Amino acid sequence: MSFIEVSAESDFPIQNLPYGIFKHISHDVPRVGVAIGDFILDLSVIEQSGFFKDLTDHVFSKEYLNDFMALGFEIWNGVRQVIINLLSENSLLSENDELRKKSIFQMNECEMYLPVKINEFTDFYSSYNHAFNVGSLIRGPENAIMENWKHIPIAYHGRASSVIPSGVPIRRPLGQTKSADKELPDFGPSKRLDFELEMGFFVGTPNELGKNIPIEDTYKHIFGMVLVNDWSARDIQVWEYKPLGPFLSKNFATSISPWVVTLQALEEFRIQGMKQDPTPLPYLQLAGKNAYDIKLQVALKSDKMDNPRIISNSNSSHLYWNIFQQLAHHSINGCNMQTGDLLGSGTISGVEIDERGCLLEMTLLGKQSVRISDTEDRKFLEDGDTVILSGYCQGDNYRIGFGSVETRILPAIDL
């Protein structure tokens, strides 16, 4: 129990303690904090007060988490224990009025920033239902899953520079599209803008070029997870992707939630993943519970609506390939993974229409509409729409939550 009161519905009880970069209205510069209930504990103040004996480099006064992430698994665990002790009932912090005043801030008086300086962004395609649904719509159910899919975690290299935090609006992208009934491509704002409900994880500690991260070691290299909205312009994508895959249809923006939830906080919510048949190659085999039971939700609010409406409920347990397999696979060729690399899961979909992680799947490639209010429906996103992804693990009277990633769509620039 914490001396700070936290409701059972809060995303941020003392069992969670996610890291983020924040700035209180009284601060000049951003710094590292952990969320606790409706408050943020300023770790730069705690560090300056000498509570972290193993830290030397003022890692919590930095504007990104990277320097802390690079210190490795043992340090992360040690720091987490110090923070748990400080926030527990009858702690030194609970009894020190002056230190509490300097280090604890109301979350609603703080601005959140991008938590990590993102080096590289890779996006997988690891949800079976998503791959099956999209494959079925395009190629029919018999050919939905490609022959490599159950052997190899499919991914592509995305773009890190356009990864943005929750709250930063995106502009509808301009681009080339080509309709089947026309001879030549058109140019203009995308008419098929879509969200993708994903989770992502950050690499904490790197591996050397030419060496891989064996799957048994991957856990210690992963710092934590965030919600990811991997924006997609479907009409641009379908024209540009042959033969090298997505490019401008994806790299205009990817939104992430501001709080990084550590694997230590998620430990109790590990579950058996989907059955993998055929058995993966040895370098991808890992015994035990390697999936996570994280409830995921998509809500949408148009300009005309007062409140968002939930349009989809999914769960990260729908992933076929788990995060340990993704990291082992990514580095098996000797690719050097670096501190701050973001690896996305791919769209996470369940079976039913209202469990799907993108509009492309919910509308059967734009053929039917999704109801978003009593007066409006959508095939794809419109200007002024706000998309809100959220997620949490349900414990016994507490939640390990991710907060949300909330993004409004602005009209395309007028050329």
Q: How far is the CB of 256 from Mn ion (least distance, A)?
A: 12
How many residues lie near Mn ion (CB under 5 A)? 3
Between 4 and 253, name the residue whose CB sits nearer to Mn ion: 253
Tokens of 249: 């249809």
Which listed residue (24, 58, 130, 318) is catalytic? 130
Which two three-digit tokens encode residue 301?
Answer: 């609010």
Task: Closer to Mn ion by CB, 45 or 236: give it.
Answer: 236
**Residue 158 C-beta: closest distance to Mn ion, Å:** 8
Alpha helices (H) in 157-245, listed in sequence order: 218-221, 234-240
Q: Which of 16-24, 122-130, 148-156, 297-305 is the region at the interface with Mn ion (rule: CB under 5 A)?
A: 122-130
Whole-number CA gyration radius for the chain: 22
Under a CB-based contact definition with an 8 Å cutoff, are residues 370 and 363 in contact?
Answer: yes
130 in catalytic set:
yes
Tokens of 152: 């190899």
Q: Which of residues 21-60 bind Mn ion (CB under 5 A)?
A: none
Our CB check for Mn ion shows the closer of 47 and 196 to be 196
Residue number, 32 or 319, with CB nearest to Mn ion: 319
Residue of 123, 194, 355, 361 interacting with Mn ion (CB under 5 A): 123
Closest CA to 254 of 72, 75, 387, 90: 387
Nearer to Mn ion, 123 or 406 (CB): 123
Q: What six digits make up the tokens of 70?
A: 């690079």
DSSP state of 356: -
Closest residue to Mn ion, based on beta-carbon distance: 230
Detail the DSSP E strand segments found in 275-385.
Answer: 291-292, 295-301, 309-315, 342-344, 370-371, 377-378
Pattern 167-206, Mn ion, x by CB under 5 A: -----------------------------x----------
- Residue 243 CA neighbour count, 13 Å, CB half: 0
- Site map for Mn ion, 201-240, x if CB under 5 A? -----------------------------x----------
Instruction: Retrieve residue 261's tokens.
Output: 């939830």
Dist CA 189 CA 191 (whole Å): 6
Stretch near Mn ion under the rule CB under 5 A, chosen from 80-88, 115-123, 128-136, 175-183? 115-123
Q: 202, 341 in Cβ contact below 8 A? A: yes
Chain positions contacting Mn ion, by CB under 5 A: 123, 196, 230
Active site residues per annotation: 130
